Amino acid sequence: MTYHKAVLLSECIEGLNIKPNGIYVDVTFGGGSHSREILKHLEDGKLFAFDMDDDVLENIPQDKNLKLIQTNYKNIKRFLRLEGVTKVDGILADLGVSSHQFDVAERGFSFRFDAELDMRMNKSSLLSAREVVNKYSSEDLANLFFEYGEIKISRKVSKLIVLAREEKEIVTTTDLLEVLDGVVPEKRRNQFLSQVFQSIRIEVNQEIESLKQMLIDGVDLLNIGGRFVVLSYHSLEDRLVKNLFKKGNLLGEIEKDFFGNILKEMKEVNRKVIIASDNEQKENNRSRSAKLRIAEKVEC
């Protein structure tokens, strides 16, 4: 099964500073590119890979040092404890939706295909895009479009959806596109639709809440000197990572001790965000919006 080409692969692996006997976690296994590269650097070490999408089962390499855990990465701490692991030496997170999920039409992630509104990363989840679009109140829809898609006309969009579903249920991606037809000028259409679909997808999968939990628990799990390597693809994700690494908390509010020292457990390895080279951006579209941040656990 084909997944996207790994973004900033060498930079991510270098950032982890892998020890041959260390314990590492890839919280977003996907196509397995990052995991396979981590495994090349391990001897007696262990890699725990997380992914809740059943499709990844076709990509699992046979390696004694690898253990796949099929659950949302927000459960990282609890499920590692079940494996007898309470501390790790490095965590890698490649956030966002894989190209595979976008390209499989029936998953309903993309407005490029006509498919039932779904967008579930975990196919057993009860909440789907169809439920969000047809059951959420106008106010709730407006809030998620504004917060998760940064859409300034969020109330107008939500009202159009509510009016349309009173006539008939919005079942497919094409149904939703028809509702939104002409809302913005043609030159902004793709960007606008991407924002709408992103908003719904984030809500369906509770992506922001899951990310917050994973980041907090990830910092707690790291040994002193352990590395946290995070690739993000939109500002909502990157802002949380940036706040945690720079300020010590997700809100980005500086807290100081009695002596005026900033209270934080992570030290930035790269003070300036790492982006893909021009060549990589030409070869891999997904890398164009990627931002890589690396931090190391320190004595607090």
- Single-letter amino acid code for the residue at 256: K
Please report the pLDDT score of residue 299 as a whole number: 87
Please report the pLDDT score of residue 1 as a whole number: 46
Please report the pLDDT score of residue 122 as a whole number: 82
- Phi, psi angle pair for 22, to nearest 5°: -85, 170
From CA 171, how far away is CA 191, in angstroms rounded? 22
- Single-letter amino acid code for the residue at 52: M
In the predicted structure, residue 105 carries a pLDDT above the cut 50: no
- Single-letter amino acid code for the residue at 162: V
DSSP-assigned beta bridge partners for residue 136: none
Backbone dihedral region of 299: left (phi > 0), alpha (psi from -120 to 50 degrees) or beta? beta
* CB distance 252 to 246 below 8 Å: yes
Round the average pLDDT of the chain to a whole number and report it: 91
CA distances from 139 to 135, 148, 291 (A): 12, 14, 32
- Max CA-CA distance within the chain? 64
pTM summary value:
0.90
Structure tokens at 138: 């106008």
In the predicted structure, residue 102 carries a pLDDT above the cut 60: no
Structure tokens at 43: 């001897």
* CB distance 36 to 65 below 8 Å: no
Concatenated DSSP letters of 206-221 = THHHHHHHHHHHHHHH
From CA 262, how far away is CA 39, in angstroms rounded? 36
Domains along the chain?
A: 9-99+207-297 (3.40.50.150), 105-205 (1.10.150.170)
User: Which residue is listed with tokens 């679009």?
Assistant: 133
- Quote the crossing angle between the two packed helices 189-205 and 138-149, to the nearest 10°: 110
Q: Is 66 helix (H, G, I), strand (E, B) or coil?
A: strand
User: Which residue is listed with tokens 């997700």?
Assistant: 250
For 48-100, how does the pLDDT look when each residue is reduced to its tens digit (9 = 90+)? Answer: 999 988 877 877 899 999 999 999 999 999 999 999 999 999 999 999 765 54
For 150-193, how does the pLDDT look when each residue is reduced to its tens digit (9 = 90+)? Answer: 999 999 999 999 999 999 999 999 999 999 999 998 999 999 99
Kindly state the helix (H) or strand (E) to which residue 164 belongs, with its residue range.
helix 154-167
Structure tokens at 19: 């020890």
- Single-letter amino acid code for the residue at 143: N
Q: Where does 55-113 show beta strands of DSSP type E?
A: 66-69, 88-94
